[in-house]
Structure 1
């Protein structure tokens, strides 16, 4: 018994597709094209307009789709605009990455105008920024050596010149290499508030503990001399270790950026990407802390000073996390965390000095309790440690999003 297997059109006879090149359809129905054979019908292309939600989404993100060099950039951009894997289900896709692949494929492109492959590759010859990352440490070591070999006004001159030179070296490192903001991201540059708080924290690491000890003993009676045994002792070992730590910080930032980009290319969902990047971030952070601890031990042994592990490690961790967030376009949280630590240190100094006034001894009671329990280093350790832990929690939620690794000019 013969059976007619030819699909019937909604408003025509079974043979209508063989009789007319284009079958008539009812309003609102999608026409179906033929391939020239009797009864054979090709699937019609996807609907456009209001019935094509992907096209509507592409229209809303037209600029993102047109400038993207691969689907991953579209996925990161969509996630930055609040599109989740659950949202992608409404577009008949299992995740944002699959949706981004369709959007990328549907954008007409001129192959001749496509950017060359090296234009979107990972920047950087490593040797170029690796040498620059050593500059602050070299200048810091030269400054400490000069302070040890001079005295009087010459020592003061060496200190001023050395501080300016180290600051210039750090500025160079933050302008080129993994610790720099991507080109063309003027809005992502380090805010003035972040710079101010960073300068204060570094100055306190150098002079704050000595000032607090001197104030607790009734001083200070003289200005700092730049040596650990002076009337206002300076902590050169931890500061020197922090300048040397610019090199491992740059390497850790590069390592994290490259590995995160690779995981973005292999992930098939936003949650999958976050789960794979989180241990990478924590491992990179732990690696930097270990490197800083080694540098502190070496500098303390070389200079014959206390290594000040607690305050230096917490400060270094805070500065690294703040810089990682800034590099990826998140500048508000670092400013708040650095500012909170700096204000805490300044408040402790103010309370301790105010407690020396007649009848105000109770004001300095909290500071004196910390000094008796943990010494002068307890104040910066607690301040920077609390800020670093808060920023670490924020970082594990922020830098594990695909949008954090979007192109430089993609809004957050």
Structure 2
């Protein structure tokens, strides 16, 4: 939110801020200016809510009594730019909500909720001829060719890399794998730098990308390593073979995940466009929240259905087990983490990704630590899971719990009007 700037009314006395037309006196600067010099950043932590600013002016200043009798006027001065550019009360309500104003805070301004407070603020803003109207919702989704094509790049590069691995042997295979991993990483970075999945407003938490790559690497190598470790191995390094060998690779999941970059971006675009449309049509914050919650769940379900279909196709094309449980849960986790990051909520996804990668790494570490004298009990939980449901149960349970956590968090964050009030720059 923008604070009030310098007032250009000539003859402004020192120490006061604005002319009060009702009391014919000057409002003190403390009554109309925010004491916070910088706007709050939108993110996971809630900022301090707006309060009626105290007036330290002497008792003989006429504006002091006016500000005390009309606290909404001081709030309007504090958020003058927001009030002037708003096209409807809901936009003011979304801005106040992003600034930390809650229904409880609104009661201090003699209103039952934030939307009622925003309606009064909107009605009291002078406009030229009152010609401003609510914006017309978009009638159709518009896809831009730049990010739409970039989302297809990771899957194409991954498919080319896997084809090269199947056609080469020995040292050429290792070179092909190294070049292919680098190409896929650059392709994913390009796909996530534009469009609906690009972070808006805030940069991702440091290290979150590293943990994401760990989870993807575990999807390729983890199940084979865990199976070999439980059996007493592995007896050698991975050779890039997908069938047999001391340490087989799972290539169908990673191919499906890279191909799913396109449906992930399109699903995120669909969610953002529909949410902005509901923001325009809603008459209150509660109505907007109740309408966006099913939209969010439907978007996640749509992406998971498309990922499952891609996984079935890649498994059949590569003649590998599809590994539905661990791949679908990992896809849900990565999609929700990126969706939250794209709307400015970066802390929770980073924490959940770090926790998930740590649990998967600890599961592998306990198997090897159990080989030490007197430490055999460490392997009991992992051995039980592997014997009962297979090595894929470890990432499936871990990623599933993490994805559920992020889904609950997204139901709190992405259903707020403040998450969609500003245009993210994507079509």
Q: Which category of TM-score, normalised to the shorter sequence, fits these structures?
A: 0.7 to 0.9
Return the alpha-carbon distance in structure 2 between the equivalents of residues 97 and 157 of structure 1.
60
Find the counterpart in structure 2 of residue 82 from structure 1.
Answer: 100
After the TM superposition, which of the residue ranges 271-280 and 84-93 deviates more from structure 2?
84-93
1:215 aligns with 2:233: no
Find the counterpart in structure 2 of residue 240 from structure 1.
Answer: 255
**Cα distance, 1:49 vs structure 2:** 4.1
CA contact (8 A) 1:256 1:280 kept: yes
Find the counterpart in structure 1 of residue 216 from structure 2.
Answer: 202
Find the counterpart in structure 2 of residue 318 from structure 1.
Answer: 333
The within-5 A match list for 1:243-282 is 243-282=258-297
Q: Aligned to 1:265, what secondary structure does the other structure show? A: helix
Once the two structures are superposed, residues 178-202 of structure 1 have per-residue CA deviations (whole angstroms, 9 ceiling, x without a partner) of 00023xx2xx112222112101101
Find the counterpart in structure 2 of residue 389 from structure 1.
Answer: 404
Find the counterpart in structure 2 of residue 35 from structure 1.
Answer: none
Find the counterpart in structure 2 of residue 334 from structure 1.
Answer: 349
CA contact (8 A) 1:174 1:180 kept: yes
**Cα distance, 1:272 vs structure 2:** 1.0
**Cα distance, 1:30 vs structure 2:** 8.2
1:162 aligns with 2:180: yes
Return the alpha-carbon distance in structure 2 between the equivalents of residues 268 and 383 of structure 1.
40
**TM-score when normalising by structure 2:** 0.77
Selected match of 2:189 from 149, 157, 171 = 171
1:135 aligns with 2:145: no
Once the two structures are superposed, residues 263-318 of structure 1 have per-residue CA deviations (whole angstroms, 9 ceiling, x without a partner) of 11111121111110000000000001110100110000000001110000000000
Unaligned runs of 5+ in 2: 1-21, 25-64
Larger Rg: 1
CA contact (8 A) 1:124 1:177 kept: no
Unaligned runs of 5+ in 1: 1-28, 32-46
Could you say if the C-alpha distance between residues 353 and 109 of structure 1 is closer, same or farther in structure 2, counting changes exceeding 3 Å? Answer: farther
Find the counterpart in structure 1 of residue 40 from structure 2.
Answer: none
Find the counterpart in structure 1 of residue 5 from structure 2.
Answer: none
**Cα distance, 1:72 vs structure 2:** 4.0
The within-5 A match list for 1:4-403 is 49-66=67-84, 68=86, 71-85=89-103, 88=106, 96-97=114-115, 99-104=117-122, 106-107=124-125, 125-182=143-200, 185=201, 188-229=202-243, 230-403=245-418
Return the alpha-carbon distance in structure 2 between the equivalents of residues 243 and 73 of structure 1.
37
Could you say if the C-alpha distance between residues 264 and 85 of structure 1 is closer, same or farther in structure 2, counting changes exceeding 3 Å? Answer: farther
CA contact (8 A) 1:321 1:392 kept: yes
Return the alpha-carbon distance in structure 1 between the equivalents of residues 172 and 126 of structure 2.
68
Once the two structures are superposed, residues 291-349 of structure 1 have per-residue CA deviations (whole angstroms, 9 ceiling, x without a partner) of 01001100000000011100000000000110111111111110111111101100000
Return the alpha-carbon distance in structure 2 between the equivalents of residues 89 and 266 of structure 1.
25
Q: Aligned to 1:261, what secondary structure does the other structure show? A: helix
Return the alpha-carbon distance in structure 2 between the equivalents of residues 276 and 391 of structure 1.
19
Return the alpha-carbon distance in structure 2 between the equivalents of residues 94 and 259 of structure 1.
28
CA contact (8 A) 2:93 2:285 kept: no
Q: How many pairs are equivalent? A: 358
Return the alpha-carbon distance in structure 1 between the equivalents of residues 99 and 139 of structure 2.
25
CA contact (8 A) 1:310 1:381 kept: yes
Return the alpha-carbon distance in structure 1 between the equivalents of residues 66 and 241 of structure 2.
75
